[in-house]
Amino acid sequence: MSDSILIKNIRAVDTKIDMVTDVFIDNGKISAVGKNLNFQADRIIDGTELVLMPSLFDMHVHLRDPGFTHKEDVLTGCNSALAGGVTGVLAMPNTKPPCDNPETIRYIIDKAKDTGVEVYPVGCITNGMNGGGLCDYEALKNAGCICISDDGRPVENAEYMRQALELSNKNGLLVASHCEDLSIINGGIMNKGETSEKLGVKGMDRASEDYITAREIILASSVNARIHICHVSTEGSAAIIRFAKSRGIKVTCETAPHYFLLTDELLEKRDADYRMNPPLRTSEDVRAIIEGIKDGTIDCIITDHAPHSSEEKADFEKAPNGVVGLETSLGATLTALYHTGEITLQKVIKLMCVNPRKILGLEVPEISDGKTADLIIADINRKWTVEPDKLHSKSHNTVFKGMTLTGKNLMTISKGVIRYENL
């Protein structure tokens, strides 16, 4: 049983409220919200100048477990999530073996069960995640899967993708797409443009992302199914999704903090920690992603947390793509969007807490009587410098290394239990 917690004089914010109040948590639930509460509690917290909000849900992470546990495992990934204020994640299927079978799904869920993080393994769309025919979706769903994707690579066969989308109307699984045309990418390692030409390295043409984004939307529309577009990074993709939404097509999408905060000019350092897929783009793309967030085109902010060892990241041109992000996502989002006046704090909560859970059909935490106490306490004005070696992940390949961010999670409460604390 969880201890009782009384939080005094805190600014409580969700999508319905924004007020300074007291909050009493008992037996895993929010028992009371109001001024001058006087309950006996095992723990009393002074929340003056701090913010209480629902915990984050990251619907795009790579836990690397099973098969690549030198980079990350379920336990270290969950520790990193809790430090960042995240109590729920979708774990992508490019593990070894891939998540194309019930045994792997159950292994991940079982390993995460005592961490305080709800881990939902994503099942593969195709067997082996290599286009070798469709998986047994009913078996994956029965094992605990709520989403399918071949993330890490696209589904190259459009008919397989169309069939998966058609089946999703029957089985209720969300289909999420990594939008990339491998024939267009053809070995590119960063955004194709001025910086790639300056460095003399092969670039990734934005047509790769835009083309498959359009393909997925057309396929979803043809069978009246939902489609979720992963890690949107280009002005073109945002425009395509905006148009599709205006036509009533059931498309949702996500982006990551590095796509609205950083540009490909950072690659001039020839440091592979700034390489991910899709890659950092241009300042025009950054502005387009911000506008997409503001006007509702983009539904969620995720991290695409993708750990790699320092040895793997040592060679700029040969290193694998990916960056860690679970512990920096809140600070980066507050820095880039809230403190610049682009969006409100309630909009941040909608993007990082509410919409991911709604898209997946999960319970959305609120700060009200009787609700599950999945909460974080943050200092939204605290300035802190990102030091890779202090992150809880096994890997330290953060694109924000050395940057000063404004806004930091100080406490994570999962189902009424304090799972992380740095007050």
Query: Cα 379 to the chain's mean position, in Å?
Result: 21
Question: Rounded distance, CA 163 to CA 34, Å?
Answer: 51
- 375-385 vs 404-414, strand pairing mode: antiparallel
How far is it, in rounded angstroms, from Cα 412 to Cα 423? 10
Catalytic residue among 304, 315, 374, 389: 304
Q: Token pair for residue 243?
A: 């148009």
Active site residue 304: yes
CA 144, 171, 181 angle in degrees (round to 5)? 90
Partners of 252 in the β-ladder: 228
Place of tokens 């045309």: 181
Q: Is the dihedral of CA 364, 370, 374, 378 positive or negative?
A: positive
The number of angstroms, rounded, from the C-alpha of 344 to the middle of its chain's C-alpha atoms is: 19
The catalytic site residues sit at 304
